[in-house]
Amino acid sequence: MAPGQHRPGQGIRRENRHRPHGQQLRHRPGPVPPRRCARPAGAARPETAGGLDHPARCRWPAQGRAGGVRAGLPTPIRLGACGARRPVRMQPADQPNEMGNPMANGARGGGAVNPLVPLGILAAIAGAWLFGGMFYFAFGPLGLAGFLAVVATPIVGRVWSKASKASAQRQAEDDRQAQWAAFLATFEPELHEVLYRLHDERTAAKMWAAMSLGSVGRWIGSGDNARWEPATYPHVVHIEPAAIGARVRLQMLAGQSPDHFEKRRGEIKTALNITAVRMAGDSGETVDLDLMVFDPLQGMTMSPLIDDATNARIVAAVKAARNDDEMNVLLKAACADLQLTVPVDGLSVYDDILIGPDEEGGMLTVNLAADDHLAVAGTTRAGKSVFIYNILAAAMLMRDCKVVLIDPNGATSPPWYQSAHLLCDTRDADAAVKVLEAVMAEMERRQKLLIQLRTDKITRFTKDLPLWLVVVEEASNYKDNPKFMILLEKISAQAAKYGIDLVVIAQKLSGENVPTAARAQLSGRVTLRLNDPADYRMVHPNAPQFAEDILLKSKTPQGVGIASLPCHVDPVRFRALFLPIQACFVIGDMIIAVRGEERPLPGSEPLALPPGPSATQDSNSVDTIKPPASTPRPTKATEDRPTSKLPILPKLPQFGAGRTVVPFDRTARPDPAEDTDLDSTDDQSEDTGTA
């Protein structure tokens, strides 16, 4: 570039204009702020393309790396005065322009126009006039025309070349704008400015330099010894959308480690103006950061088992309630017209049970058929019941699952009092032992079945051979009963291969509350808020990063905890789906309307069973003596019948139009003469009163 000239679109520091040669201040390389194009007041909004404004009058060519893309990423676009995002004019990091060199243009003449240029233009005009006249007088009009053609041809060619280049630049700009708009469309709107800050070289260099993780480009030295030192900072090599925002992979500089970024997570969050930054891993040369624009653990996530309208009413009730009493009244009203999204018996043990969203934006699940035993720990009002309601509600709706509940405090059993297969809701340790003995008897029966099935583990479950889900709530209430502890240890060690899953819930999973051997078999671990860090380390010894947060109510509110499940082996923070107990009562009523009840409600006198052993080993009548709450109530029509016969319940559809539950019709009884002996029903599937 000739001395005294400057590149269009690039400015010169005002201080250099009147300084003697050699004393000019060095100009900082890089783009200058874009020209503003004002829009008159009341003017219509510019037309949009791809969700972004692109006023035609605000465009100008972009200058950047070859192809306008770094590592497969589109050229960033700057937000202009009219709201338009335009590709940023970027200075290649390894190629400083002449404007940054104090010995280049601007050093001589301070950027002023060369006074010889106007004289040259006048001389060219005078020469053309002189030679044109000479050709005219010598050869006439044809000579003048020939002279003009010779002179005009290179001029026209030059103008045409410039116009073609300008058109190509405009087309390239339009393509970059379309590419950038399509790139932004894959991310949340809150991330658009974040992406610009990470991709724009000058903005990114300043941001990382402010955190001592990079440096901006600058000139070093002066005069002929001046050399350009390019900007160095962690470059984006990959970025992809994520459920919580975006995951970005950065190329670390020499000497950097993930700890440098871990210590500056707060600064990165502030610089990018996002909700949070989380370390997602590293590969030695790169580091992965999760840029969170929203926290999935903030607010309630509703259970998918009930309809959206009911969920909306539940959310409104929770927000409107001022105390627990109002909460109960409002939630009852909100759940009065609850509709299930799946019918009774519409689920199977092979279906995943949704537990709640994790901090990474995924959804934690439990699969009764595939997963192992589960341990749940948490202090009072930490959300243990809210968590277990999701599992119990889904298990109760499964056609091939039977639920056994031991709940001495009545925290989780009330909605399922009439529908649970076996139930102990007292603090009497002997009653709890009898329920565990019933589970052991089922294990012994299935042990013989393994020989017939020619296998070492039951993996196929049906109505005739259902999976048993045994839930032991507040196991510490029975810690003084040695027989209970021995049975619990045996079930935890042996029940899995017989198709029996165990869930143990306690405030502390210490050895005095749960046998150490039993706790070792509980591979699934869920920890809600605790009071002692030692209790947390006992459950999650390999995740010390959550040891402090698990003690704070502000960091671990009700329903929030740490989970290590087969679907997510590494411990992760999560929030349980919100399924209130009022909704569980309605779901329990729907189940009873379809299947009938297993036992009467408390206060109603239970009727005695007919004498004689039961022929169906899979029913809730077992060879052991069960507590009163586990005694099933026979129907009235059974009292006057022979003891060896029971009525067959009529088959009715579960749901009518609009997913309305069809009540169980107890008046349509078959004729007694048509009853069948129990011995003949062994090969029949379990009748649930469904079509």
Give pLDDT tens digits for 355-413.
999 988 889 999 999 999 999 999 988 999 999 999 999 999 999 999 999 999 888 99
Residue 112's pLDDT is what? 56
Beta bridge partners of 137: none
| Contact (Cβ atoms closer than 8 angstroms) between residue 509 and residue 517 | no
Instruction: From 435, 374, 376, select the one nearest 404 (Cα to Cα).
Output: 435
Residue 14 scores a pLDDT above 50 = no
Q: Which residues are annotated as a binding site?
A: 378-385
Last residue of a domain, one of 586, 612, 635: 586
Residue 397's pLDDT is what? 96
**Together in a domain, 500 and 558:** yes
**Together in a domain, 77 and 217:** no
d(CA 200, CA 110): 30
Q: How far is CA 601 from the centre of its chain?
A: 42
| pTM score over 0.75 | no
340 compared with 542, residue with greater pLDDT: 340
Q: Which residues are annotated as a binding site for ATP?
A: 378-385
What 8-state DSSP symbol labels residue 287?
A: E
Residue 125's pLDDT is what? 80
Give the total number of structural domains in the chain. 3
Per-residue pLDDT reduced to its tens digit, 27-56:
333 333 333 333 333 333 333 333 333 333
| Contact (Cβ atoms closer than 8 angstroms) between residue 540 and residue 525 | yes
Residue 282's pLDDT is what? 86
Q: Can you spell out the DSSP letters for 95-127?
A: ---GGG-TTSTTSSGGGPPPTHHHHHHHHHHHH
Q: What is the CATH number of the domain that holds 503?
A: 3.40.50.300
d(CA 387, CA 376): 9
What 8-state DSSP symbol labels residue 563?
A: E
Output the six-digit token pair for 670: 């078959």
**Together in a domain, 533 and 391:** yes
Cα torsion angle, 261, 266, 268, 269, sign? positive
105 compared with 523, residue with greater pLDDT: 523
Is 567 part of a structural domain of the chain? Answer: yes
d(CA 598, CA 581): 20
d(CA 687, CA 594): 10
**Together in a domain, 328 and 241:** no
**Together in a domain, 272 and 393:** no
**Together in a domain, 164 and 254:** no
Residue 604's pLDDT is what? 56
Q: What is the CATH number of the domain that holds 285?
A: 3.30.980
Is 593 part of a structural domain of the chain? Answer: no
Residue 629's pLDDT is what? 44
Residue 91 scores a pLDDT above 80 = no
**Together in a domain, 278 and 427:** no
Q: Which residues contact 350 (CB under 8 A, 6 or more apart)?
A: 367, 369, 370, 461
Q: What angle do CA 683, 687, 691 make, to 5 degrees?
A: 120
Per-residue pLDDT reduced to its tens digit, 244-291:
899 999 999 999 999 999 999 999 999 999 988 988 888 889 999 999
Q: Averaged over 492-517, what is the pLDDT?
A: 91
Which domain covers residue 393, as residue numbers?
308-586
**Together in a domain, 146 and 215:** no
d(CA 485, CA 476): 10
Output the six-digit token pair for 10: 């690039």
Residue 422 scores a pLDDT above 50 = yes
d(CA 594, CA 665): 9
Strands 500-506 and 374-377: parallel
Is 664 part of a structural domain of the chain? Answer: no
Residue 662's pLDDT is what? 39
Is 665 part of a structural domain of the chain? Answer: no
Residue 434 scores a pLDDT above 70 = yes
Per-residue pLDDT reduced to its tens digit, 120-139:
778 878 877 787 778 777 77
Per-residue pLDDT reduced to its tens digit, 143-170:
778 777 887 788 888 889 889 999 999 9
Residue 77: pLDDT band with limits 50, 70, 90: very low
Residue 25 scores a pLDDT above 70 = no
Is 34 part of a structural domain of the chain? Answer: no
Residue 71's pLDDT is what? 42
**pLDDT averaged over the chain?**
75
Residue 176's pLDDT is what? 87
Q: Averaged over 463-486, what is the pLDDT?
A: 93
Q: What angle do CA 278, 279, 281 make, to 5 degrees?
A: 150
**Together in a domain, 322 and 261:** no
Last residue of a domain, one of 558, 586, 614: 586
| Contact (Cβ atoms closer than 8 angstroms) between residue 366 and residue 374 | yes
Is 565 part of a structural domain of the chain? Answer: yes
Residue 88: pLDDT band with limits 50, 70, 90: very low
**Together in a domain, 112 and 228:** no
**Together in a domain, 323 and 257:** no
Per-residue pLDDT reduced to its tens digit, 171-224:
998 998 898 889 889 998 989 999 989 988 889 999 999 999 999 988 888 887
Is 383 part of a structural domain of the chain? Answer: yes
Residue 565's pLDDT is what? 93
User: How far is CA 542 from each of CA 112, 524, 528, 538, rounded to the nearest angstrom?
Assistant: 69, 14, 16, 10
Residue 435's pLDDT is what? 95
d(CA 376, CA 507): 8
Instruction: From 345, 335, 283, select the one nearest 306 (Cα to Cα).
Output: 335
Residue 407's pLDDT is what? 94
Residue 452: pLDDT band with limits 50, 70, 90: confident
Residue 249's pLDDT is what? 94
| Contact (Cβ atoms closer than 8 angstroms) between residue 369 and residue 497 | no
504 compared with 57, residue with greater pLDDT: 504
Q: Can you spell out the DSSP letters for 228-244?
A: EE--B--EEEEEEEETT
Last residue of a domain, one of 529, 553, 586: 586
**Together in a domain, 146 and 245:** no
Is 269 part of a structural domain of the chain? Answer: yes
- Rounded to 5 degrees, φ, ψ at 429 are -65, -30
Residue 515: pLDDT band with limits 50, 70, 90: confident
